[in-house]
Amino acid sequence: MALSSTSTAERRGIPGAQFVEDVETYLTQSGLDVNSAMSFLQERLQQYKLVELKLLAQQRDLQAKIPDIEKCLDVVATLQAKNGTGEALISDFEVSEGIYSKAKIEGAESVCLWLGANVMLEYSCDEATDLLNKNLDNAKASLEVLIADLQFLRDQVTITQVTIPRVYNWDVHQRRMQQTAGAAKDT
């Protein structure tokens, strides 16, 4: 059998790994010797590991961001609920890390949201709710794509980790065959 192209597709810039069923055919078609093939596979494995670290960091960031957005949505909903009642909302808020203060909020018609990069904008409560819901949906969709990318990447790592010993074992087998053939000629 020749090469199996089970997972040679690319996903979002992550190159697919190729499962090698027949090492000799793989080496012939790729134009590599055993050492070059092993070096290539080891380098590809390291690249996969680096990409995995990057994707895991992005996953952690998104998993931390989603509860923050949900918390902001709850706060805006609470403000909207208290707004028409004439009742003040007493809340603790963080001034600085570990330092809190009490606030009395009455008739809040708008809220200020941090957008990042030291930018804060004021929105009406309805606009803030819409924006936060949109951001929450985007974050959840990004997390799903990221999880799929990680699964694809793990599959590529597994294929590469299986291929490396196959190439090595094939090389060992070839050397033993050559030694056996050389010993048979000597006798």
* Res. 187 pLDDT band, cuts 50 70 90: low
- Whole-angstrom Cα distance, residue 7 to residue 14? 11
- Whole-angstrom Cα distance, residue 150 to residue 133? 26
Share of the chain above pLDDT 90, in %: 67
Q: Taking residues 82-94, report their average pLDDT.
A: 84
Q: Which of 13, 5, 116, 9 minimizes the C-alpha distance to 68? A: 116
Torsion angle of alpha carbons 52, 54, 59, 65, nearest 10°?
180
Render pLDDT for 136-180 as a digit per residue (tens, 0 to 9): 999 999 999 999 999 999 999 999 999 999 999 999 999 999 888
* Res. 8 pLDDT band, cuts 50 70 90: low
- Whole-angstrom Cα distance, residue 134 to residue 60? 20
The pair of structure tokens assigned to 137 is 């949906």
Render pLDDT for 150-162 as a digit per residue (tens, 0 to 9): 999 999 999 999 9
The pair of structure tokens assigned to 46 is 């390291």
Q: Taking residues 77-81, report their average pLDDT.
A: 90
* Secondary structure, 3-state, the chain: CCCCCCCCCCECCECCCCCCCCHHHHHHHHCCCHHHHHHHHHHHHHHHHHHHHHHHHHHHHHHHHHHHHHHHHHHHHHHHHHHCCCCCEEEEEEEECCEEEEEEECCCCEEEEEEECCEEEEEEHHHHHHHHHHHHHHHHHHHHHHHHHHHHHHHHHHHHHHHHHHHHHHHHHHHHHHHHHHHHHHC
* Res. 5 pLDDT band, cuts 50 70 90: very low
